[in-house]
Amino acid sequence: MPESADVVVIGGGFAGASTAWALARRGIAALVLEREQELGMYASGRSAGLGRQLAEDDATSQLTVRGAALIKEHFPATWRPTGGVLSFDDGAAADAYIERAGRLGVPIDVMDQRAVLAFWPALVDLPITKALFVRSDGVIDVKALLAGFMAKMNLRRNTAVASVTPSARGALVTLVDGAAIDAKLVVDAAGAWAGATTQSPPLYSYKRHVFILATQAVETAPFLWHLGRREMYVRGESGAVLASPCDAARIEPADQLPDLVGESHLRSLLDTIAGPDLADAAII
C-alpha cells in the first residue's frame, strides 16, 4: 500500500469507479479502495441496470443522456440497445416528459396503452393514459461496466477505511489494518456509508426491492417503467422477468436482503395490474 497518493477514492461502485475513470482521462491517477472483493457489491451491483435517459428534471436528464453517450462510446459491449418505455396514468406528467425530451434532443415516440401491451401483454390492467418509447434507452451490464472503468486503475480490493482526518497535505486515510495513506484529495464514494469515515453529514439510505420472476419475457423487448400512482418497472432478464415495485423504506446502511414486506408489496401490485402469468410467477 502506498504511503501517499494524489487522489484516494473510497468505494468501487458506480460513483467511485466512474470518478476514477474520468480522472484518469484527464491524466490524474487515483487510488481506489474497495472494502469488498467484488466491485459494486451493494447498491451498484444490485441495481436493475436500466439505461433510462429521461428523468424527473432537466438537470438529472442532462447527466443521464451524457452518461448513456459515454457508455455507448467507450464501453459499447456493456450496453444492450433494447429501448425503454415510460408510461403514465397522468397525461400532464407525460406531457412534461415529452417537453423535456424536446428540450434535450432525445427522440421519442408517443404511444397509447395498446402499443405498450404489444411489448408487455402481461400488464393488461396497468392504467396507462400515455406512454413514451425512447428508442435510444437500453440495459447495462453492470458488472462488465464496473470492470471496464477499473481495467487500468490502481484498485485495492478487500481494503476497508477506518477514518479520514485532516493532514498538512490534505487528508490522512487510515485503513482498518492500521496502514495510512496521505492524500491531497479524498473522494467519498462509499454509497450508503458515505460520510461515516469522513466526518461529513451521512446520507439517508433507502431500500428498494428488485425481484426475478420465473416467467418468460422477450429479451429484446424494451424495459417498462410506469411513472404513476402504481410506480413499478420490469425488464427481461435471462429468460425471466426482473421486476421492482419501486418501494423505498428508510434503513440503516447494511448488506440488504429481500424481505416479506417487499415481496408483499410486489404481489399486491401485480395482483392489481397483471395477468396470472406474471402475477403468480415464482420468485427465483
Each residue of 147-192: pLDDT tens digit?
A: 999 999 999 999 999 999 999 999 999 999 999 999 999 999 999 9
Beta bridge partners of 237: 240
Question: Per-residue b/e over 148-157, b at no fewer than 16 CB within 10 Å?
Answer: bbbeebbbbe
In this prediction, the residues of the chain whose per-residue pLDDT falls under 50 are none
Classify burial at 255, counting beta carbons within 10 Å of its beta carbon; exposed 0-12, middle 13-18, buried 19 or more.
exposed
Are 209 and 264 contacting, i.e. CB atoms less than 8 angstroms apart?
Answer: no
The predicted structure's pLDDT at residue 153: 95
Position 216 scores a pLDDT of 83
pLDDT of residue 280: 95
* Cell numbers for 179: 496502514
As given in the structure block, the three cell numbers for residue 137 are 434507452
The string of pLDDT tens digits covering residues 90-110 is 999 999 999 999 999 999 999
pLDDT at 214: 95
Lay out the sheet containing 50-51: strands in order across. 50-51, 138-140, 79-80
- pLDDT at residue 206 in the model: 95
Domain architecture of the chain: domains with CATH: 4-39+150-203 (3.50.50.60), 82-138+206-279 (3.30.9.10)
Per-residue cell: 99: 417537453
pLDDT for position 202: 87
Per-residue pLDDT at 82: 96
pTM value > 0.85: yes
Per-residue confidence (pLDDT) for residue 199, from 0 to 100:
84
